[in-house]
Amino acid sequence: MNPVTRITSRTAVLVDENIDTDRIIPARFLTTTTREGLGQRCFNDWRYLADGSDNPEFPLNRPEAKGCAILVAGRNFGCGSSREHAPWALLDYGIKAVLCSEIADIFRNNALKNGLVAIVLTADENRWLLAHPGIELTVDVAGQFIALPDGTRMHFTLEPFARHCLLEGVDQLGYLLQRSDAITRYEHQEHAA
């Protein structure tokens, strides 16, 4: 994973609540055996009309949402399945951070493992951001704050290890492999018991 320290972008907003992983990437696109290219299918059934053209009703299709790397969503984003294809699709689509008042556990975990900064805000902060689409924010992972255009800050907390991994680009599998001796000890003791 490449280090992620700071993201500056205008926000794109999806006010819907409970945006589930099937909406982020419908299951019929999960037959892939790679991680690449899923951005084209991100929000597929919401984003495109039946004839394959862009759905003008889909908020991220509006001209002002183009190129936005920060997504603000209504509560309980990412509920549903454990498919890591959801953060892969969002990243490939150009989203680098998701801001929401509640984020489903597995999605959040998958997102952070891929360098998609999933941030939980208070309900009030989230409501405010939902009501102000398109403003420019800076997400500072080291400082754990979001800087607003007027200079005020919203503070957030990331799980310390996830934050460390984002900042340093830590290879988590490498980290686990280094614990091999402890794992072997555990396995012996388990057999002895």
Partner 1 sequence: MSKTLFEKIWDAHVVAPETADTPATLYIDLHLVHEVTSPQAFDELRARGIKLRRPERTLATLDHSTPTLPPDATGERPYGTPAAKAQVAQLEKNTSAFGVTLHGWNSANRGIVHVIGPELGATQPGMTIVCGDSHTSTHGAFGALAFGIGTTEVGHVLATQCLLQRKPKTLAIVVDGKLPDGVAAKDLILHIIGVIGINGGTGHVIEYRGAAIEALTMEERMTVCNMSIEAGARAGLIAPDATTFAWLKGRPRAPQGADWDAAVAHWKQLHTDPGAHYDREVHIDAADVVPTVTWGTHPGTAIAMNAPVPAPRNAVDQRAQTYMHSVPGKPMQGTPVNVVFVGSCTNARLSDLRVAARILRGRHIATGIRMLVVPGSEQVRHDAEAEGLHQVFLAAGAEWRLPGCSMCIAMNGDSAKPGELVVSTSNRNFEGRQGKGVRTVLASPATAAASAVAGVIADPREYLKEAAA
Type and span of the H or E element at 166:
helix 160-168
Q: Is 138:90 a contact under the CB 8 Å cutoff?
A: no
Q: Is 187 exposed, middle or buried (0-12, 13-18, 19+ CB in 10 A)?
A: exposed
Query: CB of residue 21 vs partner 1: minimum separation in angstroms?
Result: 8
Around Cβ 123, how many Cβ atoms within 10 Å?
A: 10
Is residue 188 involved in binding partner 1 (CB under 8 A)? no
**Does 40 engage in binding with partner 1 (CB under 8 A)?**
no
Q: How far is the CB of 39 from partner 1 (least distance, A)?
A: 16
Kindly state whether residue 161 participates in binding partner 1, applying the rule CB under 8 A: yes
- Rounded to whole angstroms, the maximal C-alpha distance in the chain is 64
Site for partner 1 in 76-135 (CB under 8 A): 76, 79-84, 102, 104-106, 109-110, 113-114
Token digits for 64? 């002002």
By the rule CB under 8 A, 49 interacts with partner 1: no
The answer for residues whose C-beta is within 8 angstroms of residue 186's C-beta and 6 or more apart is none
Choices 60-68, 71-79, 91-99, 144-152; region in contact with partner 1 by CB under 8 A: 71-79
In the three-class reduction of DSSP (H, G, I as helix; E, B as strand; rest coil), residue 144 is classed as coil
Task: State the number of binding residues for partner 1 (CB under 8 A).
Answer: 50
- As measured in angstroms, the least distance from the Cβ of 101 to partner 1 is 10
**Which tokens is 25 given?**
């990437």
3-state secondary structure of 42: coil
- 15 makes contact with partner 1 (CB under 8 A): yes
Binding site for partner 1 (CB under 8 A): 15-18, 20, 22-23, 26-28, 30-35, 45, 74-76, 79-84, 102, 104-106, 109-110, 113-114, 159-161, 164, 172-173, 175-177, 179-180, 182-183, 186-187, 190
